[in-house]
Amino acid sequence: MTLVPFNDPFQQRMQIAFIFTMTCWALWWNIQWKQVMRFWVRPPNRRWVQLLFRVWFASCFVGALYRFAQEVHASHLTERDIGPTAGIAAIMCAVIALISAVGLWGVQRRDRRAMSGG
């Protein structure tokens, strides 16, 4: 994927904030990998399934980190743009965290119902 140069600082801030948010999300996948796996597969999981998910999560994080570094390097943002960019990223991270929390809550409810037989 080629970098899209934006002349508009707002668009650059939004793109960098979005990629930063996705990098943070991929990092969270690596830290909470057992919990995140539950979105797709129910425990108990075989070792090879866990390994495949861990490799996938790690590759997503490395790719996101690389893309984030590319964007920051290619951007023409100034020091005064760092604050607004960080603010946008914080809002995006909060929204993703909320969506993830609701999703995990739903997964836990699903698993509890499956264990209780209902």
pLDDT for 39-90, tens place per residue? 888 878 899 999 999 999 999 999 999 999 999 998 888 889 899 999 999 9
Tell me whether residue 9 is in a domain.
no
pTM, full prediction: 0.81
Of 26, 1, 18, which is closest to residue 72 (Cα–Cα)?
A: 18
Tell me whether residue 3 is in a domain.
no
Tell me whether residue 34 is in a domain.
yes
pLDDT for 2-11, tens place per residue? 555 567 888 8
Tell me whether residue 23 is in a domain.
yes
Query: What are the angstrom distances between the C-alpha of 99 and each of 66, 82, 94, 95?
Result: 25, 26, 9, 6
Tokens read off for 73? 């390097």
Tokens read off for 82? 């760092």
